[in-house]
Amino acid sequence: MSDLRFNALLLYISDQLTADQLVKLKFLVGDVVGKREQEKVQTGHRLFQLLSERGRLSAGNTAYLADLLRQVQRHDLAEKLEAGDSRAEPVQDELDDAEKAKLDIATEVIAENLGKSWRKLGRKLRLGGVKLESIANRHPTDLEETAVELLKEWRKSQGAGARTDELIRALRDCQFNLTADKVEEALHSQGL
């Protein structure tokens, strides 16, 4: 596996970890990474860098990290790591123009109406806890920008599979029916 593909896979794994799983991983590497450095680790990717620096992780040496992932009950990520699964990387295909226009309208409406409940929608869209925390840190006071960033990250993770229907379904699952209705009205008024 190339270094580029390996790093992309590590980023993917980092994004899939919950905050609790990251804490458990930090505890498990206590014999490899010093306590002082552990306290500074805020993302899985940083932890993986430290493991690489200590010779415990590389493109050709993934057994240690795979074992750690299994210990925190992330067997799915361990298997992807061992297989060097390129499907773990987000699909970068382009959306068709009609769906892109629909998603742009949906993003605008959701950003205007979502407010403080953006994390609930993020969890429903299956964005990891670490990714949600990263979004919160980028826009700590502007809820509209936070919602835009959330939807941008979701679209990036879905690639060409991002669909407005899935977004509307997630809104309804979160009981954000008024916002879902507004998205549908905006799309209808644009003839989409």
CA distance linking residue 42 with residue 112, whole number of Å = 30
User: Over the stretch 12-36, which tens digit does the pLDDT of each residue have?
Assistant: 888 888 888 888 888 888 888 878 8
Q: pTM of the predicted model, to two decimals?
A: 0.50
With a cut of 70, list the residues of the chain below it in pLDDT: 1-2, 85-95
- Which residue ranges form the domains of the chain, and what is each CATH number? 3-88 (1.10.533.10), 97-189 (1.10.533.10)
Report DSSP state, residue 59. T
CA distance linking residue 132 with residue 153, whole number of Å = 9
- Would you state the pLDDT for residue 184? 93
Looking at the chain, the number of H-run helices and the number of E-run strands are 12, 0
Count of positions (residues) in the chain: 192
